[in-house]
Structure 1
């Protein structure tokens, strides 16, 4: 990407949005970041991320909600983005059981507004976040993009599946080049505090036990494809200049997995996290553990096939959980001033 492009990044104060914006700005692109900076998790963390983007002269931040259609349309009219990356969404499987309204508002209405804006102010490429949760409780692994995904087990997963359907329709009707990315458990420094690895670390430092939702069944432990933030960002950045072309009369809409293609047992992940916290602190640590039943909406395994991504842009996530978690715990100890 040599020429300066205008990127419109929604969810710019979020975990993936922040890192993507930073990388695009470092490359000299113009980034217009949008976020409603809601309090789903610690707003201070969102403000810290934004404060690191503000010094860039080619960054503009707008506090707005993608569910506000009129405001969104005006922003598209004003900034005329060439590439839109929609990362604004209400995240979290368990939270969707308690608060379904916000999921419909942000993930369905908000995404519809993005599609409408791309229709009225045509863009070179719309990239949007989907999720590995669309695979539901599929038993066949690794998950491939061609797999049947009509049995979501959470409302969150339903909203992400509906995003893929809506994008396909808008691409078909209005020729919008669109790419959906099914993210697999993204983690790393400055990540989301509602994610397990962050919550486990909080609990350790608060001297509380961690809850592990696998019934203590180590033979049938949960598996997760943990994907480090830098790998996610590189995948998005490479795909940005690879808009679907709609060859052979196809719709200009593609969906890719972005995952580590290397699922880890949850217990292995937890043991690695213990070791990494220990290294960051310079002493041995151990979590207090409580085993509980699997929660509704959780799936037993996530495992990404990344062949299609590799074929499209020659990239496959590589970061090991040892490397990635060490980066996270070093940041955590520093950020919260816990170094003794």
Structure 2
């Protein structure tokens, strides 16, 4: 069914973090569906701003895209958007990302992930929306030993501040959903990768070092597993969820949380060898102990996603890393 028909013909969608990795790919998909997209991003320098600008340049080719530069922690700026643009749907992807960075720079996480998300909730309260979708993270599972990770599992033992802010977002969204009748869906993403990705993530850093003949650092001596999820699968999941606000739960809140992961954890060393093949180069390797805030493995139980939407991510790492490597070589002019 046509996406616009599924959302009732309404087409004003606010995407925070619109110049970010997932925000860019989602915005592009929404624009191609004929939606009007308002992108909001503070364009910070956590990683190379030129990549964010390149994403925006692509989005601005669509006449129905509007970009507004601003910070989630600036409540007045957000309120102005809700007042004047009147978004019907909000996809909150704007956040300070990264597990290790949260150890050294906690203030950035409190401003963006806590105050910023509170501001989003307040705007949805005072300027009602049809559905609020927001990014959570597989990091909320911490060092859980039971696998695969289920949305029914307890997530009360975060091992990083980043994870703690994401768990807090879920609790805040539930409270606002119950108190102010805001339909809200949280999405726990599992290690998202792909073209125009985030340079702070391992696969991207590996690629840069491999092509520059530099040594890559591999933690826990390579003995780690990750549920790597290709960005197009993440976008498909969000597109399924946007038109479908959750029904009331037992607490009387229109609230739901889903895992979006590949449901197939890969050994880190297999992932690296696949990346080497896709780039056509071999990496110099240095093996190091586990880093603070890291976990041994992630593994998504996507039963809820399958039950409600008949969908689960399925892109293999060979296909996904192949597309990433192709983009990477073109973007950085690597012969």
Using structure 1 for the length normalisation, give the TM-score: 0.95
8 A Cα contact 2:91 2:132, kept in partner: yes
What is the CA deviation profile of residues 135-154 of structure 1, one whole-angstrom value per residue up to 9, with x for unaligned ones? 00000000000000000000
What is the CA deviation profile of residues 303-336 of structure 1, one whole-angstrom value per residue up to 9, with x for unaligned ones? 0001101111111101000000000001001111
Equivalence for 1:325: 321
- In structure 2, do the counterparts of structure 1 residues 310 and 69 end up closer, same or farther at CA, with 3 Å as the change threshold? same
Correspondences of 1:238-317 after superposition (within 5 Å): 238-246=240-248, 250-278=252-280, 285-317=281-313
In 2, the alpha carbon distance for the partners of 1:4 and 1:51 equals 25
Deviation (angstroms), 1:9: 0.2
Is 1:89–2:88 an aligned residue pair?
no
Is 1:228–2:230 an aligned residue pair?
yes
Select which of 121, 127, 134 maps to 1:115: 121
In 1, the alpha carbon distance for the partners of 2:251 and 2:199 equals 44
Deviates more, 1:3-12 or 1:169-178: 3-12
8 A Cα contact 2:91 2:133, kept in partner: yes
Structure 1, unaligned runs of 5 or more:
279-284
Is 1:157–2:157 an aligned residue pair?
no
Number of equivalences: 329
Deviation (angstroms), 1:249: 6.1
8 A Cα contact 1:4 1:28, kept in partner: no
- In structure 2, do the counterparts of structure 1 residues 214 and 116 end up closer, same or farther at CA, with 3 Å as the change threshold? same
8 A Cα contact 1:129 1:183, kept in partner: yes
Deviation (angstroms), 1:247: 5.9
Equivalence for 2:112: 106
Equivalence for 2:334: 338
- In structure 2, do the counterparts of structure 1 residues 162 and 248 end up closer, same or farther at CA, with 3 Å as the change threshold? closer
Using structure 2 for the length normalisation, give the TM-score: 0.97
In 2, the alpha carbon distance for the partners of 1:199 and 1:128 equals 26
Q: CA RMSD in A?
A: 0.9
In 2, the alpha carbon distance for the partners of 1:139 and 1:248 equals 28
Equivalence for 1:282: none
Deviation (angstroms), 1:245: 2.0
In 1, the alpha carbon distance for the partners of 2:81 and 2:51 equals 25
What is the CA deviation profile of residues 266-302 of structure 1, one whole-angstrom value per residue up to 9, with x for unaligned ones? 0010011111111xxxxxx210000001100000010
Equivalence for 1:208: 214
